[in-house]
């Protein structure tokens, strides 16, 4: 019965859900299968949960399911299994108002609630409660720390996130949710929302051990060890067990450490004592774990760490949100405006949303530094979300349950392993057939044929693959780049496009005041260097600079937005805030006061008419009180304040923000005619321009009315005051780094929240856009008045004069064909697209087919909101770019997480969101990361190719020996696997990265022409030389089936062979009977000439391919600079040459090799030498010179049509 539903529709974690019920006959059948397969079927069903469910359960509707099978709808198609549980509750919705609160809560919880009780006994009370109502059964399941409840209305499982589920309006938050909940209502809601805690459970070592040991790889190793033990290969089996134990222990330690670190990070300050307002207006102390959405908590005046997401309904808070945003600048949070209170209609009453109303929302995990409040009125906040639904909870969830990293290398690695398994299958069949023909006992057939599989799939492969990444991580740490997702290092080697935030990343964090340009009588005055002058002290312009900001004093130090700080410091004024004592004496919140320094003020003169009170006021100086603040909003691109000057009756409003926005809010007759021209002139030079405006408010606006007036009412009919010009200097490293990236054919893109023309100017200054290139602004307009959405194209650098009007940019006609075939159509004239966040939103919605073509040539994306930055990264990834993102962590968290390689320049806790964090606060870390990524990627290829060749070389040796019913000896396996392979693998990964970025990129996957050619040709070469050696030794005149007597000499020897034909002319005083005893012990027929020959040849082959595959330039330093590798290889060569030309009986006996004539030893040396020459010629001459150049040039030509892969796709 098909009943597939979708949960979390439209969200990142959207999943298909199907319902299942256990089926008895299927369970019985599986039970029989498990017994017959020796438990292997159980393991298979554990590895494949979807098979397990389908094999033991039958389909049913989702509503009636006992367990649900979920599959993610993203490209990974991951399966999840969850058990459906039943909960008894008095209602189906946590926000229901229950008639009988006490009754419902008692039964729902299964015990009576705390508080005063009736004299009845508990049993009588419960009977009485049950008589009143019937509890409801609510079905739910838990997945990834989120509870999904069955909803009859939606006919699906839904998540209760919090107060936002009700879609409450701002006025409803004040009218219905600001009085608090009764204890019973709170307990009822806690049934659904659970305990308010972000619980990171640290699994026990036993649980982790079981999970780790049941990994398919370790099960395969266990199978191998049992097999080798049965075949009496005890030493090698013990070595593998030892390696596995070390590997499992290391893995357990790392995983446990990560869990403990995350637990400690989350647990710190997560449980605090809070004051909660109950429905009867009582305040009670409670633990933060008891909070539920709808509770009203009191924010203490000395601050706290927020245990949940809550919206402020009264008072003001100063909050450090570095945990969330990466920005350590304190933010002022104001209470949520109540539209009804201001006497306005419901038009301005919007639905509360944490994202839109974040200036009024206190987020979980953020630090409330201090609060400001009215006398007699507490600073209150309504709890909106708790536990894992909070902003911090979602961040922790994304760390606990990350999306798998989709990278071609890992997919190809599995394909490669499957190929090795296929090769093993051929060997398996071959060995069985051979053994049956030779009438080998059944036990030997089973062991030896299975042994082939363990040889072909190398047990040390995962450890070997990890080594290169671990070394790269260590090198990155050494240069100040920290990594929390090591698998991403390899992906960084593929990056071919990097997005940069502007402020704080490409440019200095701080802005310097370059100058001011005031407006008088509708025209600009000459620009002035600063505002610190006596003549300007009482001007509206300086008053706006001194008051229109969100600065606050924390422990006596001015703190706030760097731009506000620079602007305020330029005035030289003094800011004073009311103390708690002063605030509590008044009926209203005491305003922040700003005043100029005394030396700037003229001496006050007293006239005869002035009364005493005014005289005292004037003596105290010129002061302005900030009555109300409308914080800066990135959506509105402005902030404003309402102020009152001491001694003045009427209040004034000051506004500052983006020049275009401020000018649109001013009276047209106050904005100079050349406003656009002047603004463009400054922005083209790369200045950050802020406009100021002012208005005297109506006298009817009293203090209380101002507290409730809407922002739109204040920010209208303003008078334009002029411009503040701030200089945002480029960081000294920026141009050089961008030039390095450009030379390496890595495209660079700017994604900023700043002004379009300023961004273009900075892009030109830093070399992102070369001087000779044109910039075309794509200005998209949404559909309006029945007209379809359209795009206006205009050159950014060609302003044209309209008759008597302000300048406007020259419009240019571009057809869609030009965009799609841009590079070919305009080879002579290279160009870049620039667009704003608004245009990007319109293009995303209405011009989806054009979007991908635009981003191929888009270089500047200005005025981009944080979620738009993430969208841009996704669009770039959709056109096959490997995208890097470099930001200062402030509003780049989403993009940093989504990019293939996100690197944060902020060392704050927000760097948890980014895979990489740089201690160096400039973009020089980007090329370093790409270099290390490329080195790690090439190392992974080298190791994988080497491990593949190692298993195939050993497979060839064993297969050839099987044909004479022989095999490699236990200690021969041990010497090859431990002394040669492990030593070489762990040292060949140590090559450091090449010192500069080259235009060439490493291949992204193993299944690519050059790599397959490399592996296959080396396999053929090794196969050829091993087969030749194997056949050649049997053709020697001295060859005969080996016996212990073949190694002896003297009178006894003459009975067996002619001296000229003896295999070995070593003098030996060994006892013949001892040798004969050894013969009886050598059941496996290890000692023979073929074995010895193949052992020598294959041992040299491992070292030859290791050296051939250990590539250096252009992605890694040459191998001769990797001294541990050179030392290991030389030592092994020396040892092999030593035992080849100077046999020592103890070593020969240990390795089970036999004595061969000196002439044959020279022949082996010749075979090895020719093998080495052929391997080197094939790899370096044929592959590197011929094939690479052909393939690379072909890639280059084919990429012009698609854009991303092209080295010149930057333009």
Interstrand relation of 652-657 and 638-645 (parallel, antiparallel or unpaired): antiparallel
- Distance of alpha carbon 595 from alpha carbon 269, whole angstroms: 39
User: Pick from 932, 928, 905, 927: which is nearest to 916 by CA?
Assistant: 905
CA dihedral over 1028, 1031, 1034, 1037, signed as positive or negative = negative
Pairwise CA distance, residues 602 & 644, whole Å:
20
CA distance 986 to 495: 26
Reported as type and span, the H/E element at residue 552 is: strand 552-554
Tell me, what DSSP letter sits at residue 1182?
I
Rounded to an integer, what distance in angstroms lies between the CA atom of residue 150 and that of residue 304?
36
Name the β-bridge partners of 649.
none
CA 1131 to chain CA mean position, Å: 43
β pairing state of 901-904 and 916-918: parallel
Strand 67-72 versus strand 79-83 pairing type: antiparallel
Q: In sequence order, which residues have a C-beta less than 8 Å from that of residue 13 and are 6 or more positions away?
A: 72, 144
Residues whose CB is less than 8 angstroms from the CB of residue 111 and which lie 6 or more positions away in sequence, other chains included: none
Contact at 8 Å (CB) between 662 and 656?
A: yes
Q: Which two tokens stand for residue 205?
A: 């070592």
| Residue 1047 is among the residues annotated as catalytic for this protein | no
278 DSSP 8-state letter: B
Collapsing DSSP to helix, strand or coil, 165 comes out as helix
Q: Give the three-state DSSP class for 626.
A: strand
Q: 589 with 374: CB under 8 angstroms?
A: yes
Q: With H, G, I as helix, E, B as strand and everything else as coil, classify residue 110.
A: coil
Distance from the Cα of residue 772 to its chain's centroid:
37
**What gap in Å lies between CA 532 and CA 460, rounded to an integer?**
71
Catalytic pick among 451, 501, 779, 892: 501
Q: How far is CA 1005 from CA 747, 833, 1115, 1192, in A?
A: 21, 32, 16, 15
Residues 6+ apart with CB under 8 A from 855: 872, 875, 876, 879
Upper half-sphere CA count for residue 1 (Cβ side, 13 Å): 12
Residue 297 phi/psi, 5-degree rounding, is -110, 150
Q: What is the DSSP string of 3-62?
A: --EEESTTSTT-EEEEEEEE-HHHHHHHHHHHHHTTTHHHHHHHH-HHHHHHHHEEEE-T
Name the β-bridge partners of 558.
553
The angle formed by the CA atoms of residues 1128, 1133 and 1139, to the nearest 5 degrees, is 125
Instruction: Measure CA 1070 to chain center.
Output: 67
Rg of the chain on CA atoms, in Å: 38
User: Cα separation of 109 and 563, whole Å?
Assistant: 53
Q: What is the DSSP string of 420-474?
A: HHHHHHHHHHHHHHHHHHTT--HHHHHHHHHHHHHHHS-TTHHHHHHHHHHHHHH
Q: Containing H/E element for 878? A: helix 866-878
Are the C-beta atoms of 494 and 1115 separated by less than 8 Å?
A: no
Instruction: Report the C-alpha gap between 979 and 1106 in whole angstroms.
Output: 14
Residues annotated as part of the active site: 501
């Amino acid at each position: 019965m098909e009943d597939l539903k979708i949960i979390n529709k439209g969200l990142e974690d959207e999943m298909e859900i199907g319902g299942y019920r256990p089926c008895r006959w299927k369970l019985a059948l599986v039970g029989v299968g498990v017994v017959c397969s020796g438990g292997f079927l159980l393991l298979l069903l554990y590895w494949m949960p979807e098979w397990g469910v389908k094999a033991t359960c039958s389909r049913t509707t989702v509503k009636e399911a006992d367990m649900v099978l979920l599959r993610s709808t993203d490209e990974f198609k991951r399966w999840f299994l969850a058990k459906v549980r039943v909960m008894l509750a008095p209602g189906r919705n946590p926000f229901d108002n229950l008639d009988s609160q006490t009754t419902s809560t008692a039964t729902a919880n299964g015990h009576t609630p705390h508080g005063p009780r009736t004299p009845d006994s508990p049993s009588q009370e419960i009977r009485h409660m049950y008589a009143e109502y019937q509890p409801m059964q609510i079905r739910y399941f838990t997945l990834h720390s989120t509870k999904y409840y069955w909803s009859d209305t939606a006919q699906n499982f839904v998540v209760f996130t919090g107060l936002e589920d009700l879609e409450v309006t701002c006025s409803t938050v004040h009218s219905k949710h600001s009085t608090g909940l009764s204890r019973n209502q709170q307990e009822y809601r806690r049934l659904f929302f659970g305990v308010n805690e972000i619980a990171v459970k640290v699994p026990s070592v036993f649980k982790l051990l079981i999970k780790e040991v049941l990994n398919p790889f370790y099960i395969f190793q266990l199978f191998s060890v049992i097999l080798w033990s049965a075949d009496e290969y005890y030493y090698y089996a013990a070595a593998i067990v030892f390696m596995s134990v070390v590997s499992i222990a290391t893995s357990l330690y790392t995983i446990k450490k990560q869990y403990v670190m995350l637990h400690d990070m989350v647990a710190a300050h997560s449980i605090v004592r809070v004051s909660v307002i109950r429905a009867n207006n009582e305040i009670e102390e409670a633990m933060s774990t008891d909070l539920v959405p709808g509770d009203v908590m009191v924010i203490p005046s000395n601050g706290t760490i927020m245990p949940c997401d809550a919206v402020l309904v009264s008072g003001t808070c100063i909050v450090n949100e570095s945990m969330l945003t990466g920005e350590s600048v304190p933010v002022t949070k104001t209470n949520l405006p109540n539209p009804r209170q201001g006497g306005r209609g419901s038009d301005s009453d919007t639905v509360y949303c944490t994202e839109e109303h974040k200036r009024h929302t206190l987020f979980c995990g953020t630090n409330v530094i201090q609060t400001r409040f009215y006398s007699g009125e507490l600073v209150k906040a309504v709890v909106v979300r708790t536990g894992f639904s909070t902003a911090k909870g979602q961040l922790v969830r994304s760390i606990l349950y990350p999306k798998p990293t989709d990278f071609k290398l890992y997919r190809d690695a599995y394909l490669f392993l499957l190929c090795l398994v296929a090769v093993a299958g051929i060997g398996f069949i071959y060995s069985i057939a051979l053994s049956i023909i030779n009438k080998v006992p059944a036990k030997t057939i089973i062991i030896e044929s299975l042994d082939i599989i363990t040889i072909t799939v190398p047990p040390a492969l995962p450890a070997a693959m990890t080594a290169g990444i671990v070394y790269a991580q260590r090198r990155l740490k050494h240069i100040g780049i920290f990594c929390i997702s090591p698998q991403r290092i390899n992906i960084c080697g593929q990056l071919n496009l990097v997005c940069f935030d502007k402020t704080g990343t490409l440019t200095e964090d701080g802005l310097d005041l370059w100058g001011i340009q005031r407006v008088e009588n509708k025209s600009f005055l000459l620009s002035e260097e600063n505002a610190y002058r006596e003549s300007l002290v009482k001007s509206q312009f300086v008053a706006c600079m001194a008051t229109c900001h969100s600065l606050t004093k924390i422990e006596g130090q001015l703190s706030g937005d760097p731009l506000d700080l620079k602007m305020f410091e330029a005035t030289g004024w003094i800011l004073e805030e009311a103390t708690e004592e002063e605030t509590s004496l008044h009926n209203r919140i005491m305003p922040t006061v700003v005043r100029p320094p005394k030396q700037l003020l003229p001496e006050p003169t007293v006239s005869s008419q002035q009364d005493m009170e005014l005289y005292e006021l004037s003596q105290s100086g010129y002061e302005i009180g900030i009555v109300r603040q409308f914080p800066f909003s990135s959506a509105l691109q402005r902030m404003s304040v309402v102020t009152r000057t001491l001694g003045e009756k009427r209040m004034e409003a000051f506004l500052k923000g983006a020049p275009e926005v401020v000018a649109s809010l001013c009276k047209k007759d106050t904005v100079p005619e050349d406003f656009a021209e002047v603004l463009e002139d400054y922005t083209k030079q790369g200045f950050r321009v802020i406009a100021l405006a002012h208005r005297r408010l109506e006298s009817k606006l009293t203090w209380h009315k101002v507290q409730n007036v809407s922002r739109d009412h204040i920010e209208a009919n303003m008078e334009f005051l002029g411009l503040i010009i701030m200089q945002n200097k480029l960081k000294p490293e920026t141009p050089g780094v961008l030039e390095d990236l450009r030379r390496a054919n890595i495209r660079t893109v700017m994604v900023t929240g700043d002004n379009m023309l300023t961004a273009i100017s900075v892009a030109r200054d830093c070399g992102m856009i070369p001087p000779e290139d044109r910039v075309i602004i794509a200005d998209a307009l949404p559909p309006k008045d029945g007209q379809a959405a359209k795009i206006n194209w205009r050159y950014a650098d060609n302003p044209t004069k309209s008759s008597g009007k302000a300048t406007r940019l020259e419009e240019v006609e571009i057809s869609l064909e030009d965009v799609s075939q841009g590079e070919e159509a305009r080879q002579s004239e290279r160009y870049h697209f620039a667009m704003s966040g608004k245009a990007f939103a319109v293009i995303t919605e209405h011009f989806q087919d054009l979007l991908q073509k635009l981003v191929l040539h888009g270089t500047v994306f200005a005025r981009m909101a944080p979620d738009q930055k993430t969208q841009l990264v996704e669009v770039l990834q959709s056109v096959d770019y490997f995208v890097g993102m470099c930001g200062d962590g402030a509003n780049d968290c989403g993009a940093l997480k989504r990019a293939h390689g996100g690197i944060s320049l902020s060392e704050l806790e927000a760097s948890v969101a980014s895979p990489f964090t740089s201690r160096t606060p400039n973009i020089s870390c980007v090329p370093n990361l790409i270099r290390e990524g490329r080195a790690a990627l090439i190392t992974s290829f080298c190791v994988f190719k080497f491990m593949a060749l190692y298993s195939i070389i050993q497979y060839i040796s064993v297969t050839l020996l099987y044909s004479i019913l022989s095999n490699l000896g236990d200690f021969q396996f041990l010497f090859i696997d431990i002394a040669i392979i492990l030593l070489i693998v762990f040292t060949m990964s140590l090559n450091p990265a090449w010192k500069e970025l080259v235009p060439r990129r490493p291949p992204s996957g193993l299944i690519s022409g050059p790599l397959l050619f490399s592996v296959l040709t080396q396999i053929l070469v090794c196969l050829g030389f091993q087969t030749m050696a194997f056949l050649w030794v049997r053709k020697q005149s001295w060859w005969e089936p080996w016996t212990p007597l073949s190694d002896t000499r003297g009178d006894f020897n003459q009975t067996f062979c002619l001296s000229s034909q003896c295999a070995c002319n070593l003098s030996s005083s060994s006892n013949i009977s001892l040798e004969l005893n050894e013969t009886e012990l050598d059941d496996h027929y290890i000692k023979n000439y073929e074995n010895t020959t193949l052992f020598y040849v294959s041992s040299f082959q491992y070292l030859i391919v290791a050296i051939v595959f250990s590539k250096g330039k252009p992605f890694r330093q040459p191998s001769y600079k990797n001294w541990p590798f050179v030392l290991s290889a030389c030592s092994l060569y020396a040892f092999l040459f030593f035992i080849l030309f100077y046999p020592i009986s103890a070593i020969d006996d240990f390795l089970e090799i036999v004595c061969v004539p000196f002439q044959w030893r020279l022949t082996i040396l010749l075979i090895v030498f020719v093998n080495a020459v052929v391997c080197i010629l094939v790899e370096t001459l044929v592959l590197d010179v011929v094939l690479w150049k052909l393939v690379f040039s072909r890639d280059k030509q084919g990429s012009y049509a698609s854009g991303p892969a092209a080295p010149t796709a930057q333009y």
